């Protein structure tokens, strides 16, 4: 099969996982990782993974299947960085959805969902490991079941919700509040992309949260 994977951010932490998957799949398939919608060509399967732009339906028309991987239990949590918003709202599990890329924001029909338990003590990199593993499983599911894929429309009885794009201000810590009150925000902040930060006495400070080795 001819497979293309679109990820628009070369620095995104999912890229090492995609490259390992590419090496594994290339034993049997042609696999390209591309960085912009303009690089989309044609083939059997197109996956849109952690894309920061909306890909129009016309761009995906030359693939038998074009799919989005999205970390929410759709139709709840459409939009950007849904798992971060969900964890900040107290969630201890995240559903990852494989859906049809229909040119709109996460509204396509669903092929499969995987629910992942997220420990309350998990930090950003551990959260990524759990979610990215689920995303890779969904890609492998689509490839394995290529000849018998079935999709179902998102549940119209459930009201769709939308999350906005996160920005650096969303990672700001209030120095007047306790660590306990803000622990979920501290643990989801990627120190390389959107670090936790606070302002105090005329300066700005970056916070990096790491676990101590037990024993």
Q: What is the pLDDT of residue 14?
A: 97
Query: pLDDT at residue 215 above 70?
Result: no
Q: Specify the pLDDT at position 193.
A: 87
Chain segment 147-169, per-residue pLDDT in tens: 999 999 999 999 999 999 999 99
Instruction: State the architecture of 2-163 in CATH terms.
Output: 3-Layer(aba) Sandwich (3.40)
Q: Specify the pLDDT at position 88.
A: 97
Overall average pLDDT of the 49-73 stretch: 96
Q: Is the pLDDT of residue 208 over 70?
A: yes
Give yes or no for residue 56 having a pLDDT over 60. yes
pTM above threshold 0.85: yes
What are 172-190's pLDDT values in tens digits?
999 999 999 999 999 999 9
CATH 3.40.50.170 domain extents, the chain: 2-163
Q: Kindly report the length of the chain.
A: 215
pLDDT of residue 213: 79
């Amino acid at each position: 099969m001819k497979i293309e994977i679109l990820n628009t951010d070369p620095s995104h932490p999912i890229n090492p996982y995609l490259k390992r998957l590419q090496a594994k799949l290339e034993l049997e398939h042609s696999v390209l990782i591309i960085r912009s919608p303009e690089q989309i060509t044609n083939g059997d399967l197109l996956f849109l993974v952690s894309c920061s732009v909306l890909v129009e339906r016309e761009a995906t028309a030359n693939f038998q299947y074009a799919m989005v991987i999205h970390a929410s239990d759709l139709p709840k949590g459409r939009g950007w960085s849904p798992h971060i918003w969900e964890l900040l709202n107290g969630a201890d599990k995240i559903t990852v959805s494989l859906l049809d890329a229909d040119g709109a924001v996460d509204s396509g029909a669903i092929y499969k969902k995987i629910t992942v338990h997220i420990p309350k003590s998990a930090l950003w990199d551990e959260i990524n490991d759990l979610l990215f593993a689920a995303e890779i499983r969904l890609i492998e599911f689509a490839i394995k079941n290529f000849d018998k894929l079935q999709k179902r429309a998102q549940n119209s009885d459930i009201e769709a919700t939308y999350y906005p794009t996160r920005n650096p201000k969303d990672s700001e810590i209030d120095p007047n509040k306790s660590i306990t009150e803000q622990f979920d925000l501290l643990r989801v902040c990627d120190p390389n992309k959107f670090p936790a930060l606070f302002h105090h006495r005329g300066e700005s400070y970056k916070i990096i949260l790491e676990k101590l080795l037990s024993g």
